[in-house]
Structure 1
Amino acid sequence: MEHSIDSHITQFLTSFGANQTMTSWPWMKGVEVAIADPVEPVCTEDDRPAVKALILKHSEKIDKIKTALEDDPLYNPKKHDDLWILRFWLSHKKSKAAIEAAKHTLEFRKKYHLDELDIRKMPPQEVKDGKLAEYNAAWKRKDGIVCYHPDPKRGVIVFIAVEARDQNVLVEKLSEDYWLPALLYLDEYSFQCLDYVTRTTGRLTKLIRFADCRGLSLGGLNMECTRRDARFMALMEDCYPQMTECIFVCNAPTLIGVIWKTFSPFFPKRVRSKFDIVYPKDNAKDHKKLLRYISEENIPDIHEGKNPASPEKCTSDETSNKRAEVYWWW
C-alpha cells in the first residue's frame, strides 16, 4: 500500500512537471517553470505549504472546477492553471462557489485589463499620476500606506498608519470613483508579487498588513468612508483568493475593541477572520507571530523590529523607484 501511494505521487509529479512548463502571466515572463519545486523554509517559523503538495491533495476538486471553466471564452489554461484554480478551492471549499468566483474573476480581470501589465516595479505609494495618486495625496502623510517587499522569497508587507487616513477628509475631498482605482491597484500589485514568489519558490505565499493604530481617534472615522471601503473590498474579495494571511493591528488603544465591534459587520467574513490585535513589544508570543512572515532585520523599529528606517524609506529591491506603465483609471 505504501509503495502504491509513493508511485501515485511520483506519477503525479512527473505529469505535473511535463504539463506545467511555463505560464503566460506577464509578471512571469522569462521564467521557464510555472511552479518550482518548494525551496527550503527561509527560517524556522516559515511554515508555508508546498504548492505541488496542495495541488496533489486537492487534485480531484481542481479537475472538477477546471472542467466547469473550459467552455468559458475567457478561460486560458496557460494562465488559469492548477495553482490559479487551487486558490479558489481553498477559499470557498465548495465547488459551485469556487466556480462562480473564478468566472467572476475572469470577467473582472478582462474588464480592467489586469492580465496585460507587470506592475511590480511600481508600488502603489510611488504612483504619481491619476486617481490613485490623488487618493494617496488626500492622506495626512505620505507614509500612510506603504507596500514593502524586502525578501524575494517571502510575501508582501503592507504598512498602514491608521491615523494618517482621516476618513472625513477623504469623503469630503474625493468622490466614490476614487476608491476602486486605489484599492484595486493595491490588490493587483500585491497579487502579482505574491504569485511570482509562490511560483518561483513553490510555496503558497501571502501578504500581511500592519495596521498601526497610534494616534487613532473616533473623530477621524466616517461611516460613509467605511461603507465605501466595504463595498469595493467585497467587489474584489473573490478576485484575489488566498492573498491575505493576516492583518496585525499594532499599538492599539483600548478603544480599538469597541471600534472593531462597531465597524466589523461592514466587512466580508473572510476579512474579519484575519484580524489579530497584537502587542509585539510587550508580548513575546505576539512578536514571534510576525517572524513567520518577515525577518527581524526587515521589521521597522516603530513596529518593534531592527530596521531603523521608517516604512516609506524601506526600499523593496532593485525594482524600487522605477517607472511602470499604468492605465488612466489608476
Structure 2
Amino acid sequence: MASFTEEEVKAIKALRGRVKPWAEETQNKYALDYLDDATLWRFALAHKFKLDAAEHMFKTSTTYKQEWDLDKLCGDFAGEGNSDGLSSEERNQVRIGKQVFYAGIVDAKTSKGGPISAEKLGKIDFAGLSHNEEAKKACLKAYAVHTENLWRLVRETGDKTKAISIVDLDGIGMSAARYVNLIRDVTALSIPNYPEVVEKVVIIRAPTVFYIMWKVIKPFLPERTKAKVSILGRNFEEELSELVEGGIQALPTFLGGNADDSSVSPARKVEEVMTSAELDV
C-alpha cells in the first residue's frame, strides 16, 4: 500500500470531496472507480496539488473514457477483433490498428517494479497514416488501448508505482518532420487523460531530424512531462540497464535484449495492411 505525506493526504481528501458527488451524479463508471487514494494522488500530483486543475483533469479524463467506451475497446483489441457482436467495420478497425500500430507493453519490469512500454516510432508509416483516415483512426484507437492498459497496470499496484516508456527512433527520417500533427494527435490522447503513469521517457537512437521535431512538439507538453524525457543516441544500453529489472537482457531484441519482439506491434505499411486478406470486405 502507498504511504502519503500529510500534504498528500489533505489533497486526496479534498479532491475526493470535489469529484465524488459528480461521479455519483453522472454515474460515470470510470470516475466511480477512480476514487481510491492512489489514483486521486496521481491526479493531484500531475497538477502540483492545485485542486481546480486536478478536478478538471479528473472529469475530462473519465468523460473521455466513457465516450470512447474504453472497456469495450480494450476487450475488442484483446480479442484480436474476434469478439462476439462486432460489426465488420469494428473488426477491421481492430485488425488494422494492431498491424499499423507501433508500440506494446513488454514482458519485463522496471527496477522499481513498474511496467515498461516500448515504441517503434521510427518504423511508423507516417505518410500512409496521414493519407488514410481509416488507418489513422485505427492507429489512434490502438494507442488509446495501449495507454489505457499501461494505466491499468500501474493502478493495479495500489501504490505510487510508475512505468517507463522507451521510444526507439531507429529508421525515422527527415520526412517525419512533415507529420508532427500526427504525433500531436497521439499525445493529445495520453497526456491530458493519464496522470503520472510514466516516471521516465527514454528516447533512443535519436537522429538529428528528431531535434527539429522536438522543438515543435516540446511547447505543447506540460513541464512535468518534459522533465521526464531523456534523449539518447545509439549508446543507450547502460542507462536502460539501470532502469530495467534484470538489465537490458530482459528487453526485446530490437532494444538490445534477448526477449521476444512479439509484444510490440509491428508498424506495418498502411497500404500493405489495407489490402490484406485478413480484412472483412
Shorter-chain TM range is 0.7 to 0.9
Partners of 1:172 and 1:117 lie apart in 2 by: 24
1:161-210: per-residue Cα shift (whole Å, max 9, x none)?
Answer: 233102111112234533541221111111112211x22xxx42222222
Which residue does the alignment assign to 1:174?
A: 133
**1:162 lines up with 2:118 in the alignment:** no
Shift of 1:56: 5.0
| Equivalent pair of 1:166/1:221 in contact (CA under 8 Å) | no
| Equivalent pair of 1:161/1:213 in contact (CA under 8 Å) | yes
Aligned length: 247
Which residue does the alignment assign to 1:107?
A: 63
Which residue does the alignment assign to 2:243?
A: 292
| Equivalent pair of 1:104/1:239 in contact (CA under 8 Å) | yes
Q: More helix by proportion, 1 or 2?
A: 2
Letter in 1 for 2:142: A
**Could you tell me which of 197, 219, 224 is aligned with 1:265?**
219
| Equivalent pair of 1:300/1:310 in contact (CA under 8 Å) | yes
Q: Secondary structure at the match of 1:312?
A: coil
Q: Secondary structure at the match of 1:264?
A: helix
Structure of higher CA gyration radius: 1
Which residue does the alignment assign to 2:191?
A: 237
Partners of 1:118 and 1:55 lie apart in 2 by: 34
**Could you tell me which of 92, 97, 118 is aligned with 1:135?**
97
Pair 1:145–1:110, CA change in 2 (3 A): closer
Q: TM-score, normalised by structure 1?
A: 0.63
Pair 1:260–1:89, CA change in 2 (3 A): same
| Equivalent pair of 1:150/1:298 in contact (CA under 8 Å) | yes
Partners of 1:100 and 1:168 lie apart in 2 by: 35
Partners of 1:66 and 1:160 lie apart in 2 by: 34
Which residue does the alignment assign to 1:256?
A: 210
Partners of 2:245 and 2:169 lie apart in 1 by: 20
**Could you tell me which of 147, 153, 178 is aligned with 2:105?**
147
Shift of 1:77: 5.7
Q: Secondary structure at the match of 1:99?
A: helix
| Runs of at least 5 residues in structure 2 that lack an aligned partner in the other structure | 83-90, 265-281
| Equivalent pair of 2:70/2:145 in contact (CA under 8 Å) | no
Q: CA RMSD in A?
A: 3.3
Pair 1:166–1:291, CA change in 2 (3 A): same
Shift of 1:85: 0.9
Which residue does the alignment assign to 1:85?
A: 40
Shift of 1:290: 4.4
Partners of 1:55 and 1:127 lie apart in 2 by: 45
Pair 1:291–1:248, CA change in 2 (3 A): same
Partners of 1:247 and 1:79 lie apart in 2 by: 25
Pair 1:87–1:159, CA change in 2 (3 A): same
Q: Secondary structure at the match of 2:201?
A: strand
> Which deviates more, 252-261 or 204-213?
252-261
| Runs of at least 5 residues in structure 1 that lack an aligned partner in the other structure | 1-36, 38-50, 315-330
Partners of 1:68 and 1:282 lie apart in 2 by: 47
Which residue does the alignment assign to 1:14?
A: none
| Equivalent pair of 2:20/2:35 in contact (CA under 8 Å) | no
| Equivalent pair of 1:246/1:274 in contact (CA under 8 Å) | yes
Letter in 2 for 1:150: A
| Equivalent pair of 1:55/1:86 in contact (CA under 8 Å) | no
Which residue does the alignment assign to 1:318?
A: none
Shift of 1:246: 1.8
Which residue does the alignment assign to 1:21?
A: none
